[in-house]
Structure 1
Amino acid sequence: MPELSSSVAEYYDRNTRPFLNFFGSGAEVAAIHRQIWGPGVKTEREAFEFLNQLVANEVLGIKGEGLGRVLDLGCGIGGTATWLAQRLGVTVTGLTISAVQAKLATERARKLGLAERCEFVHGDFLDLPNIGPFEAAYAIESFIHAESPARFFTEAARVLRPGGRLVMCDDFLTEKPTPPEAKRWLNLFQSGWHVANLNTVTAAQKQAEAAGFRFLTDRPLSPYLRPVPEWAVNLGAALLNFTPQSSKYWLSLRGSTALQKCIREGWTEYHALVWEREQ
Structure 2
Amino acid sequence: MALQAYLRKAIRTGQLKVRLPGGTLLEFGDGSGPPISVSITSPAWLTRIASNPGLALGEAYMDGGLVLEQGGIWDFAELVGRNFVHRPPKRASWLARQVLDWRLQANARATARRNVAHHYDLSVEFYRRFLDPDLQYSCAYFPRPDAALEEAQVAKKRHLLAKLLVGPGHRVLDIGCGWGGLGLTLAEEAGAEVDGITLSTEQLATAQARAEAAGMAQRARFSLTDYRDVEGPYDRIVSVGMFEHVGRPNFQAYFDQVARLLTDDGVAVIHSIGRSEGPNFTQPWIAKYIFPGGYIPALSEVLPAVERAGLIVTDVEILRLHYADTLRCWRERFMAQRQEIAALYDERFCRMWEFYLCISELAFRYRDHMVFQLQLAKRIDAVPLTRDYIGETESRLARPERRVA
Same fold (TM over 0.5): yes
Contact 2:278/2:300 (<8 A) preserved: no
Out of 148, 156, 160, the position equivalent to 1:43 is 148
Tell me, in whole angstroms, the C-alpha distance in 2 between the residues paired with 1:128 and 1:177.
28
Tell me, in whole angstroms, the C-alpha distance in 1 between the residues paired with 2:274 and 2:353.
18
Residues 1:29 and 2:129 are matched in the alignment = no
Map 1:138-157 to 2 at 5 A.
138-147=238-247, 148-157=250-259
Out of 353, 364, 378, the position equivalent to 1:277 is 378
Deviation larger for 161-170 or 185-194: 185-194
1:206 aligned counterpart, secondary structure? helix
Q: Which residue of 2 aligns with 1:120?
A: 222
CA deviations on 1:184-225 (whole Å, 9 max, x unpaired) are x83334442335222111221111111121111111111334
Deviation at 1:139, TM superposition (A): 0.9
Give the percent of matched residue pairs that are identical in Structure 1 and Structure 2.
Answer: 20
Q: Which residue of 1 aligns with 2:117?
A: 9
Tell me, in whole angstroms, the C-alpha distance in 1 between the residues paired with 2:155 and 2:118.
28
Tell me, in whole angstroms, the C-alpha distance in 2 between the residues paired with 1:55 and 1:259.
23
Tell me, in whole angstroms, the C-alpha distance in 2 between the residues paired with 1:248 and 1:72.
30
Out of 292, 301, 304, the position equivalent to 1:194 is 292
Contact 2:274/2:296 (<8 A) preserved: yes
* Structure 1 gap ranges (5+): 237-242
1:36 aligned counterpart, secondary structure? coil
Aligned-partner residue type, residue 134 of structure 1: Y
Map 1:1-279 to 2 at 5 A.
1-23=109-131, 26=132, 28-39=133-144, 42-60=147-165, 68-125=170-227, 127-130=228-231, 132-147=232-247, 148-175=250-277, 186-191=283-288, 192-194=290-292, 196-227=294-325, 251-278=352-379
Deviation at 1:247, TM superposition (A): 6.2
Deviation larger for 248-257 or 200-209: 248-257
Tell me, in whole angstroms, the C-alpha distance in 1 between the residues paired with 2:360 and 2:126.
19
Tell me, in whole angstroms, the C-alpha distance in 2 between the residues paired with 1:40 and 1:249.
28
1:19 aligned counterpart, secondary structure? helix
Kindly name which structure, 1 or 2, has the bigger radius of gyration based on alpha carbons. Answer: 2
Deviation at 1:262, TM superposition (A): 1.2
Task: Calculate the TM-score normalised by the size of structure 1.
Answer: 0.80
Aligned-partner residue type, residue 120 of structure 1: F
CA deviations on 1:91-143 (whole Å, 9 max, x unpaired) are 11000011111111011011111111000010112x2232x111111111110
Q: Which residue of 2 aligns with 1:240?
A: none
Specify whether residues 89 and 155 from structure 1 end up closer, same or farther in structure 2 by C-alpha distance, changes over 3 A only: same
Aligned-partner residue type, residue 156 of structure 1: V
Deviation larger for 68-77 or 189-198: 189-198
Task: Calculate the TM-score normalised by the size of structure 2.
Answer: 0.57
Tell me, in whole angstroms, the C-alpha distance in 2 between the residues paired with 1:86 and 1:94.
14
Deviation at 1:82, TM superposition (A): 0.4
Deviation at 1:249, TM superposition (A): 6.9
CA deviations on 1:135-169 (whole Å, 9 max, x unpaired) are 11111111000021222112222211113112111
Alpha-carbon RMSD across the aligned residues, in angstroms, is 3.1
Specify whether residues 15 and 143 from structure 1 end up closer, same or farther in structure 2 by C-alpha distance, changes over 3 A only: farther
Deviation at 1:271, TM superposition (A): 1.6
2:229 aligned counterpart, secondary structure? coil
Tell me, in whole angstroms, the C-alpha distance in 2 between the residues paired with 1:70 and 1:19.
26
Contact 2:115/2:293 (<8 A) preserved: no
Specify whether residues 120 and 4 from structure 1 end up closer, same or farther in structure 2 by C-alpha distance, changes over 3 A only: closer
Q: Which residue of 2 aligns with 1:239?
A: none
CA deviations on 1:16-62 (whole Å, 9 max, x unpaired) are 43122222xx1x22322233213598332111122211111011179
Q: Which residue of 1 aligns with 2:91?
A: none
Q: Which residue of 1 aligns with 2:48?
A: none
